[in-house]
Chain A
Amino acid sequence: MSTAILYSITGIIIFTVGLRGLVIYTHFLRKVLAINVMGTGIFMFLIALANRNSNGMPDPIPHAMVLTGIVVAVSATAFILALVVRLHAATGHTSFEAIHNDDRGAKL
Chain B
Amino acid sequence: MNINIFDLLLAPTLIFLAWQMLRARDLLVSIVLFIIFGVLVSLAWVQLQAPDIALVEAVIGSALTGALFLGCLGHMESHRKKIVIEKIKISKGSKVYDCFLSVLVISMGSILSWSVLTLPKNVLGLTDKIQSALAKSGVENPVTAVILNFRGYDTLLEMGVLFLVVVSVYALHAIEPVSIKIQPRQASRVLIAFLHILTPLMILVAFYLLLVGGHAPGGAFQAGAMLAGVGILMLVGGVAFSFNVERWVLRFIYVIGFGSFLLIGLGVMGGERNFLEYPEYLSKKLIFLIEFLATISISFILVTLFAGCSGFLNYGKSNSGTVRGVSA
Residues of A in contact with B (beta carbons under 8 Å apart): 1-10, 12-21, 23-27, 29-30, 32-34, 36-37, 40-41, 43-45, 47-61, 63-68, 70-79, 81-86, 88-90, 92, 94-95, 97
Contact = CB atoms under 8 A, between A and B. Distances in A.
A77 to B, nearest CB: 6
A51 B48 contact: yes
B30 A33 contact: yes
B238 to A, nearest CB: 20
Given A70-B53, A71-B60, A85-B75, A33 B151 contact: no
Given A10-B11, A63-B146, A85-B75, A25 B112 contact: no
Interface stretch (B165-173, B202-210, B246-254): B165-173
B309 A37 contact: no
Contacts of A1: 3
B72 interface: yes
A74 B47 CA distance: 23
B190 interface: no
A59 B27 contact: no
Given A29-B69, A68-B155, A68-B158, A3 B34 contact: no
Contacts of B89: 25-27, 95, 97
* Interface magnitude class on chain B: 35 or more
Contact of B69 (A32, A47, A51, A65): A32
A51 B1 contact: yes
Interface in B79-136: 79-80, 86, 88-91, 98, 101-102, 105-106, 108-109, 112-113, 116-117, 119, 121-128, 130-131
Nearest to A89: B326
B114 to A, nearest CB: 10
Max chain A Cβ within 10 angstroms of own Cβ: one of B21, B124, B130, B155 = B21
B233 interface: no
B221 A44 contact: no
A3 B47 CA distance: 8
Given A7-B44, A33-B69, A63-B143, A76 B165 contact: yes
What 3 A-B pairs are tightest by C-beta distance, nearest first? Answer: A21-B22, A78-B305, A59-B125
Contacts of A5: 116-117
B49 A61 contact: no
B194 to A, nearest CB: 24
Given A40-B41, A48-B48, A53-B123, A78 B169 contact: yes
B91 A13 contact: no
Interface string B30-58: 11001001100100110111101100110
Given A2-B1, A14-B14, 17 more contacts: A3-B47, A7-B7, A12-B112, A13-B15, A24-B98, A25-B89, A29-B73, A37-B21, A47-B50, A55-B124, A56-B1, A61-B146, A67-B52, A67-B56, A71-B161, A71-B162, A90-B328
